[in-house]
């Protein structure tokens, strides 16, 4: 089994889910008392949050590059960045280490393609929805059309994620607001919904939505186990 490296704490609430899913998946695949071999570097999310609010991506990159180098030095075979938004600078990070980064956008796109879906709604942080790094990979590399919420809904989603979910706050009212946003995307012919923030699965489950949802936290973690167990 290869050793999985994780950059977590982004936020720690979703990192907990990564650790749980990794170990449950290894247990399911190997049985017995097996669990995942992993190295977790958990950053102080406040440092990231401040830099994101000021859109100082160079400062964010410095933090993540340092974390990646520490994980590599500790003996990981590959790395997961446990957040969708931070994949905006994944290429900058990859250039500074010699072990691969398992890209959350690409493994999610593979799952969408497997289901034959050609048009998806994308929800996440303001950065994930408004910047082109996520949409570009889906549309240009995988030929998956992306539908985004309107400006007001983007700000609503960002607020729920940053002010509630990243702090471990789960509100029924916020779930209903997100479900309405998803319904709006459905009316624009989205065939599935990407939960493009690793905190969103804390609030939105498949049973809440009458169409396929793509839980990026679960997809990323399970893909990591598959990579770790490859011969």
Q: What does residue 112 show for φ and ψ, rounded to 5 degrees? A: -65, -45
State pLDDT tens for residues 135-189. Answer: 999 999 999 999 999 999 999 999 999 999 999 999 999 999 999 999 999 999 9
Q: Are 229 and 222 in contact (CB under 8 A)?
A: no
Q: Are 123 and 197 in contact (CB under 8 A)?
A: yes
State pLDDT tens for residues 85-111. Answer: 999 999 999 999 999 999 999 999 999
The full set of domain ranges for the chain reads 4-104+219-228, 105-215
pLDDT band at 116 (very low <50, low <70, confident <90, very high): very high
Neighbours of 205 (CB within 10 A): 12
Q: How high is the pLDDT of residue 231?
A: 73
CATH number (3.90.180.10, 3.30.750.200, 3.40.50.1860, 3.40.50.1950) of 4-104+219-228 reads: 3.40.50.1860
0.85 exceeded by pTM: yes
CA distance 135 to 130: 9
Residues 6+ apart with CB under 8 A from 149: 121, 123, 129, 157, 181, 184, 185
């Amino acid at each position: 089994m290869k050793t999985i490296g994780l950059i977590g704490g982004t936020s720690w609430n979703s990192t907990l889910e990564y650790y749980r899913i990794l170990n449950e998946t290894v247990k399911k695949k190997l049985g017995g008392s097996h669990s995942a071999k992993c190295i977790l570097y958990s950053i102080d999310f406040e440092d990231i949050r401040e830099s994101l609010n000021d859109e100082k991506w160079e400062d964010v990159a410095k933090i993540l590059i340092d974390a990646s180098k520490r994980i590599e030095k500790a003996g990981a075979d590959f790395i997961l960045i446990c957040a969708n938004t931070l994949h905006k600078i994944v290429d900058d990070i990859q250039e500074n280490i010699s072990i691969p980064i398992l890209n959350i956008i690409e493994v999610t796109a593979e799952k969408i393609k497997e289901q034959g879906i050609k048009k998806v709604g994308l929800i996440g942080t303001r950065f994930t929805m408004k910047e082109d790094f996520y949409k570009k990979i889906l549309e240009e590399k995988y030929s998956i059309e992306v539908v985004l919420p309107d400006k007001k809904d983007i700000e609503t989603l960002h607020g729920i994620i940053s002010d509630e979910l990243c702090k471990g706050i789960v509100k029924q009212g916020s779930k209903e607001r997100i479900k309405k946003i998803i319904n709006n995307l459905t009316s624009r012919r989205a065939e599935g919904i990407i939960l493009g923030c690793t905190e969103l699965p804390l609030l939105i489950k498949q049973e809440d939505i009458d169409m396929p949802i793509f839980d990026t936290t679960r997809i990323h973690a399970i893909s990591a186990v598959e990579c770790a167990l490859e011969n």
